[in-house]
Structures are given as structure tokens and as C-alpha cells.
Amino acid sequence: MSPDRTRRQEKVVAAKALLVVRAEVADPADRPHFDRWYNEEHLRDALATFQADRAWRSWSKIYPTSHCAFYEFSEVAAAHAALQSDGSKLLIAKFDQTWGNRVTRTRDIVEVVQRLPSSN
């Protein structure tokens, strides 16, 4: 593909950010309950609390204990504000109350800088 054609196909990506929450569900016996709880309760609660544009989640096919939830924001500052909010602290407390030390988590905020093919 010619460089000119590639440039025409690329669009400037509107500032987008993802809050990524990675959970490690170490005990396979916990996975069905974790999956049900996240599906029926936690993802919707987090989406509303964070006021994100959308949310989705996934299980790794390489590391079967690894679960990731993604929350999309229109800008990095909104993702930071959501993570530092009082609502986020309540979600974390509820998560900890439900899962204790059986599920560990890490959080990250990433900025989307390029997406191909371009989409709105």
C-alpha cells in the first residue's frame, strides 16, 4: 500500500483514554462466581460510577486467570478523575468486601494514539 493511501485511510484519533482494570482470579473455582458477579453487577455499576462512554471486559486466552475490564473515556483527564473519585473508592471497597485477597487487581490509564482502520 502506498504511503499516501495509508495516510488518507488514517484519521486523527480524537483524544480517547481507556481505564484498564486487570484482575487475577487465582482459584479456578472462583471464576464462575466472579464472572456472574461482574456480568450482573460490577461492570454496570462501574460504568455508571465512572461515567465512562462505554465498558467491556474480557478473559485472556493465554493466561486463563487474567480478566480485564475496559472503560472508555473521551479524554485522559476524565479517566483520571473517575479513578480518583469517591465513587471509585466505594467500588474498590465493595470489590474488596466481595473478593478479599482471592482476586488481585492492577489499574492503568492508557491514551489511544492511533487506531487502524480508522473508525468513529
CB 31 within 8 A of CB 57: no
Question: What is the Cβ-side half-sphere exposure of residue 4, based on CA atoms within 13 angstroms?
Answer: 0
Taking the domain 16-112, which CATH number applies? 3.30.70.100
* pLDDT of the chain, 120 residues: tens digit per residue: 555 544 544 445 565 999 999 999 999 999 999 999 999 999 999 999 999 999 999 999 999 999 999 999 999 999 999 999 999 999 999 999 999 999 999 999 999 998 888 765
Tell me what pLDDT residue 9 has: 46
- pLDDT value of position 3: 55
Give me the amino acid identity at 69.
A
Containing 8, the helix (H) or strand (E) segment is helix 3-9
> What is residue 32's three-state secondary structure?
helix
Dihedral, 54, 23, 91, 82 alpha carbons, nearest 10: -50
Cα distances (angstroms) measured from residue 63 to each of 23, 59, 80: 11, 8, 28
Predicted TM-score (pTM) of this structure: 0.85
The total of other beta-carbon atoms located within 10 Å of residue 1's CB is 6
